[in-house]
Structure 1
Amino acid sequence: MTETTESPEPEDTPAEAAEAQPERPADQSADGSAAGSAARSAVMLLGSGELSRELAWAFQRLGREVIAVDRYANAPAHGVADRSAVVKMNDAEALTAIIDRADPLYVVAESGGIAVDALIAAAERGLEVFPSPRSVRMTQDREGLRRLAADELGLPTAPFWFAGSVEELTAVAEHAGFPLVVKPVAGMRGEGQSVLLRLEDVEPAWQRAIAAGRTPQNRVLAETVVEVDYEITLLTVRTTGPTGPALHFCEPIGHREGDGDVLEAWQPQQMTPAALDVAKSIAARIVNALGGRGVFGVELLVRGDEVYFSDVRTRPQDTGLVTLRSQRLSEFELHARAILGMHVDTIMISPGAAEVTYAGADSVPTEIAPGNVTAALADALAVAESDVRLFNRPDESDPRRRLGLALATAPDVVTARDRVRRVTGVLRKLW
């Protein structure tokens, strides 16, 4: 059954701090009693984009009913969920009403811009909320997250500053020098981001950053460009069992942005033993500080044996899509298992690579003839050990519309990356 709730946008988004939930084994309510009955065992996904669709399947394969919620109708996960609902995700009152009526056992935040107050209310009445309301608040706020990492945890980061006006950003640029990366304090990966090369770039970068996202903002993060050898995502799985919290690390995933419309990722990224140890230590400290269960994508910058913290995502992400073929359990299966309190493993079964192709900012979806799709797929899948995903449903949960995903495995990463580029080259004929 589909439920639709319309409500006006709130003037202000919730900004109250929330403590992490007490950790307890899965399928146990706040008072310690069993809560895994058929009547109350559903998983509610707050966010129903392309990645949520994969996560919905992962939960369903583990016997859970899935309720997919988003701010617009016919979202990708709505097509596979057992139930769906449409609600303004940053309207705490409306979102709370949806959660109360559905009464799920688990509430899983899979999108940015969710009203944290609604998550706090759900946690207070005994629902399992992942990530914790505090984690959602922190990851919606780059300023709070960066201060947690650098000031409270002492993690190494690139030099950074925050600015609340064009004048403040100009002063930062004059002090820090160039190049300088400017990002909104809230927003999706890459959204509203600019690289400043001279003072004339400051005002356009400011306007670009504050206009990003769906929530008005008037602060930006500026950071020095650190010379690095490569960037990685270290997928870290946090579980909680009878003996307490435990962490599991996937093999590091290297990634790079292509020509503006392609994200390339590969696994494993070769690292020195010293750098890998530091990366795991940084990931463990930030993930344990955030708490909860599930997959955390810790973004790190690496230069030799030096590792710098950059960001963290508290849910599956695009760089982790390579795990659909490289690991025994994908990032979605790991996320679902960890949330449900089940056994996980991070075994990599083959080196692999992935490329996500995105539409341009001004592009308009076009209808592709079935015959052209069939011919392109036939050529793409003729590449050894390849696989393809085409995204043909509207996904308004991400500012960059995904067109397709190319995947490939091989005996080594170099060959896997070569294969996946060939697959992407064929798929480009469709766009």
Structure 2
Amino acid sequence: ASDYSEFVDAVAAVGIPCVVKPIMSSSGHGQSVIKTQDDIERSWRIAQEGGRAGAGRVIVEGFVDFDYEITLLTVRSIAGTTFCEPVGHIQVDGDYRYSWQPQAMAAEAKNKAQEIAGKITSALGGYGIFGVELFVKGDDVIFSEVSPRSHDTGMVTMISQDMSEFALHARALLGLPVPEIRFFGPSASRAVVVEGESSCIEIGNLEKVLEEPGVQMRIFGKPEVKGHRRMGVILATADTVEEAREKAERAYGKLEIDIH
């Protein structure tokens, strides 16, 4: 929808509830859910003010029924197209909070996911890593969206693979081959989201956060927070995905964050 009139018509065509997104967004900025008629004008305003490219066209999406959502990190290099193990994740208000690898899925669904991701990234062209988001319902796979870059849910690859998504992106862009991605085992990530307004944030108690084997942390070094902002990530590896997620959550629970 290009203007408010088209937007109102699109909402009527898709039906309520529906999701509104600016055509260019990340981390949920500018996105909202219309639950009643009273939300229509508010959602238009959020999309116009929060989009990465500023005000402009918006997308109105209907809801689909699905079992889970994955990010299939897809690498295009001079060696061809290579896929990471599927990443499962949980988002809150369109923003990633948890991710894990591998997401358990049937062989048929995994093959379909790779087929779809391969077609989309081939059509887009270029070298590098693409974060292809997909909905999975049984053996059916539905395309959601694609990011032509490293993906926030893919930060789990900093502990789960021999080459993280960032290393893969750089290697492919440099014109070097990516013949294989070696996966180490079940892993999880937990985003460190800070809320408030400050340019002085202290992150402490790290000696307790990192006391369990198989736990790592990355602090992003962002200088300030206004509202809420992802300031770091906790990474964990274990024998199973469930254990890795629990370990990451335990480490997060020990974290101390002070805003001055």
Instruction: Decide which of 191, 206, 225 is 1:377's aligned counterpart.
Output: 206
Structure 1: gaps (5+ residues):
1-162
The CA RMSD over aligned residues, in Å, is 2.2
For residue 40 of structure 2, give the secondary structure of its aligned residue in structure 1: helix
Mapped to 1, the partners of 2:98 and 2:201 lie a distance apart of: 26
Mapped to 1, the partners of 2:201 and 2:15 lie a distance apart of: 47
For residue 423 of structure 1, give the secondary structure of its aligned residue in structure 2: helix
Q: AA paired with 1:366?
A: C
Percent identity of equivalent pairs: 42
Larger proportion of strand: 2
Deviation at 1:218, TM superposition (A): 2.4
Contact 2:191-2:230 within 8 A present in 1 as well = yes
Moved more, 410-419 or 337-346: 337-346
| Structure 2 CA distance for partners of 1:214 and 1:257, relative to 1, 3 Å | closer
Q: Deviations over 1:279-337 (max 9, x none)?
A: 00110001001111111111111111111111111111211110000011111111111
Contact 1:261-1:359 within 8 A present in 2 as well = no
Deviation at 1:168, TM superposition (A): 2.4
> Match for residue 268 of structure 1?
102
Deviation at 1:429, TM superposition (A): 4.3
Deviation at 1:423, TM superposition (A): 1.4
Instruction: Decide which of 188, 207, 230 is 2:45's aligned counterpart.
Output: 207
Instruction: Decide which of 164, 181, 184 is 2:2's aligned counterpart.
Output: 164
Mapped to 2, the partners of 1:343 and 1:395 lie a distance apart of: 38
Contact 1:251-1:348 within 8 A present in 2 as well = yes
Q: Deviations over 1:231-281 (max 9, x none)?
A: 11101111115xxxx110100000111488761000000111111111001
> Match for residue 389 of structure 1?
218
Q: AA paired with 2:19?
A: V
Deviation at 1:401, TM superposition (A): 3.0
Deviation at 1:428, TM superposition (A): 4.7
Deviation at 1:403, TM superposition (A): 1.6
Contact 1:384-1:419 within 8 A present in 2 as well = no
For residue 255 of structure 2, give the secondary structure of its aligned residue in structure 1: helix
Mapped to 2, the partners of 1:215 and 1:413 lie a distance apart of: 37
Q: AA paired with 1:380?
A: V
| Structure 2 CA distance for partners of 1:291 and 1:352, relative to 1, 3 Å | same
Bigger Cα Rg? 1
> Match for residue 16 of structure 1?
none
Deviation at 1:193, TM superposition (A): 0.4
For residue 416 of structure 1, give the secondary structure of its aligned residue in structure 2: helix
For residue 55 of structure 2, give the secondary structure of its aligned residue in structure 1: coil
TM-score, normalised on structure 2? 0.91
> Match for residue 250 of structure 1?
84
1:234 paired with 2:72, answer: yes
Q: How does 1:92-241 map to 2 (within 5 A)?
A: 163-213=1-51, 215-241=53-79
Contact 1:173-1:199 within 8 A present in 2 as well = no
| Structure 2 CA distance for partners of 1:302 and 1:262, relative to 1, 3 Å | closer
Deviation at 1:170, TM superposition (A): 2.2
Instruction: Decide which of 357, 366, 381 is 2:192's aligned counterpart.
Output: 357
Count residues in correspondence. 257
